[in-house]
Amino acid sequence: MFSYKITCWALVFLLILSALVFLTPEIYGGEQDVVVSDDLQVIETAAPVAVKADTAAVVAETAKSAVLIDSGSGTVLYEKNSHEKLPPASITKIMTMLLVLEAVDRGQISLQDQVTISQRAASMGGSQMYMEQGEQQTVETLLKGMAIGSANDACVACAEYVAGTEEIFVEMMNKRAQELGMKDTNFVNTNGLPVANHYTSAYDIGLMSRELLKHKVAHEWFTTWQTTVLVGLANKEQTEFELTNTNRLIKLYPGANGIKTGFTQEAGYCLSGSATKDDLTLIAVVLGCDTTQHRWGETMKLLDYGFAICESAVLAKQGEVLGSIIVEKGSPTTMNAIADSDISLLVKKGERDQVTTEVILFDKLKAPVKAGDKVGELIALKDGQEVGRYTLVADSDIDVAKLHEIYIRMLRTLI
């Protein structure tokens, strides 16, 4: 009798499995390719339309070259000789800081890692933290030294820690520049000390400045006026070294939030300056000014010009959920579509309410899905015409459901 029951249950199980094979496509929509839903999920918002402003006036009169860029959209609002190749001096450190912070993001290093200062790093001239060979500093302290005090020794120390040697790190800098579309740039060192064939342009500085501003952790350093760090060998008398921000823009201009100064006799007075008002963040770059006063003045005129003619509205915040999607054979069965970064558009003042947005999501996806995979788009429209399109991504990993999960779901559809 017992073996008879087992045989019966086995037959029932085989029948269920057979049904499962045929019913699974019905449960999950079959094996069709991923398609965009015909029944679009639409979210209407007040949103601006991308626009490029223009002027015939010379705003940055005393600068050799200049550019004004909207940080959110990358729109160029003003340019003067913006692609001229010029020495950037310490503005070079923007790329150095960017690569170090990207290494932190990858998990390759952490801000609290201890870096041993090499003889080469300790021997750097110019602005520095006056560290000694063999002493240890955290990555965060070294980044503060770059951002606030423009420390040349901190640049070399971080470069050696990330890449092994400064030369390899410089190769990484040039590779990253190419990835960012910086076509007017060639780096030879990490700190901008005078050397042959080391150059960039105002436009390229704008590109890497925009990328660096995405790292929120650095904003506090950019806007710190003064702080102290402990330097020297641990087994000797250590001293408190005062870092004073080289960027007076944070004192002179309301809403200023960075980014980096530069000066050598060859480069003149240079600045990549940034400021935020309401939802609009602008980046103003001036190169080759003849005095430091002109450096601040020209930057502030550029920022004033940008804030006078433009405004920005945020369409979506990073991580904001804009819809959900069924995942075929997924565990779990649904996932959220989110914005992978802050999404904003630039508009002339007064045009903020003229644009609507649509969220288009894939109707169904098949497991597995990885967090960050594209699952839809946010589209901005004005008068029925598309003016912006942005990727939406999966908010989490979705694995393929196990057989018992599919079995339970099938039973639920039959009950």
pLDDT tens digits, one per residue of 113-134: 999 999 999 999 899 999 999 9
What pLDDT shows up at residue 52?
56
24-49+316-414 and 65-290: identical CATH topology? no
Predicted local distance difference test score (pLDDT) of residue 359: 93
Q: Which two tokens stand for residue 376?
A: 């839809």
Q: Quote the mean pLDDT of the chain.
A: 86
Q: Which of 82, 127, 150, 209 is catalytic?
A: 150
Closest C-alpha to 366, from 23, 108, 34, 129: 34
Catalytic residue (choose from 64, 71, 73, 93): 93
Tell how far CA 71 is from the center of its chain. Answer: 10
Nearest CA to 242 out of 83, 129, 140, 409 is that of: 129
**β-strand pairing of 321-328 with 364-366:** parallel
- How would residue 21 be classed by pLDDT, with cut points 50, 70 and 90? very low
Give yes or no: 93 in active site.
yes
Euclidean distance between CA atoms 66 and 210, whole angstroms: 15
> Which architecture, in CATH terms, is 24-49+316-414?
Sandwich (2.60)
| Helix 93-106 × helix 166-179 angle, to 10° | 90
Going by pLDDT thresholds of 50, 70 and 90, the confidence category of residue 236 is confident
Average pLDDT over residues 213-237: 94
Q: Decide which of 224 and 325 is more confident.
A: 224
Q: Do the Cβ atoms of 306 and 76 come closer than 8 Å? A: no
pLDDT band at 47 (very low <50, low <70, confident <90, very high): very low
In which band, very low, low, confident or very high, does the pLDDT at 415 lie, cut at 50, 70 and 90? low
Q: In whole angstroms, what is the distance from residue 373 CA to residue 389 CA?
A: 16
To the question of pTM greater than 0.85 for the whole model, the response is no
d(CA 213, CA 233): 33
- DSSP designation for 34: P
| Active-site residue, from 65, 73, 82, 90 | 90
| Residue, of 415 and 217, whose pLDDT is higher | 217
pLDDT at 390 over 70: yes
Q: Check residue 348 and give its pLDDT.
A: 85
Does 409 have pLDDT greater than 90? no
CA atoms within 13 A of residue 89's CA, in its CB half-sphere:
20
| Three-state DSSP state, 145 | helix
Report the range of poorest mean pLDDT among 80-84, 93-97, 289-293, 365-369: 365-369
The yes-or-no verdict on residue 388 having pLDDT over 80 is: yes
DSSP-derived secondary structure for 330-355: EESSEEEEEESS-EEEEEETT-GGGB
For residue 178, give every residue at least 6 positions away whose Cβ sits within 8 Å of its Cβ, in sequence order, or none.
none
For the chain, what are the domain ranges?
A: 24-49+316-414, 65-290
Contact of 267 with 57, CB cutoff 8 Å: no
> Are the CB atoms for 30 and 363 separated by under 8 Å?
no
What pLDDT is attached to residue 30?
37
Q: Which CATH number does 65-290 carry?
A: 3.40.710.10
Confidence of residue 58 (pLDDT cuts 50, 70, 90): confident
In tens, the pLDDT along 66-98 reads 999 999 889 999 999 999 999 999 999 999 999
CA-CA-CA-CA torsion sign (248, 249, 255, 260) = negative
